[in-house]
Amino acid sequence: MLWKAVFDVKSDVECIYTVICNLVTKTENPDEVLEIVKVISAKIIQQPNEKPALRLKILFNLYNLLENAYSRFYVYLKALNLAASGKVSEHVIPSVKNIDGFLKEWNLVVQDQRELFLAIFNLLKESKSSGKESFNFLTKYLATFSPEDEQSMSEAKEQAANAIIEFVKAPNMF
């Protein structure tokens, strides 16, 4: 009986968030959509270790409701971070294979690409996935920097050192 009560609470929470997430479809203004998405996402990821799989499911339901590309990117990024901190990366890792298609759809500026590549690298590294695959996203992150922009180069130094360490540590790359 207790299991049934727990299941009902879980599905009740999911239903409540489904209704809340549907509010996003009621506005036509992309800026308003993004603001609503930010508020909803912030509440969902607030306690990443408490039912993280359910929280991810709610985030992906929100993602699927969105039409605005940047809002979809924002929710996906939050899902990556939630999966890493909630230790449920196995729910998100399969979607990483589609990242090239997502990048075309989202049409991100360089700063957002950096944030995405770094989040994927951290997710794959935390999940102990293929070192080669995580290294690939770290190199994609580093490729977004140009030598002309000295200010951003200082941001890349730490990750460049990290890339060298990852390269040497990985038995199948060195």
Give the distance between the most distant pair of CA atoms in the chain.
65
The two three-digit tokens of residue 75, written as one number: 């929710």
User: Which of 9-23, 110-124, 128-142: highest mean pLDDT?
Assistant: 110-124
Other Cβ atoms closer than 10 A to 27: 12
C-alpha separations of 142 from 79, 110, 156, 171 in Å: 22, 11, 7, 21
Other Cβ atoms closer than 10 A to 137: 21
Q: The whole model's pTM is what?
A: 0.83
pLDDT band at residue 71 under the 50/70/90 scheme: very high
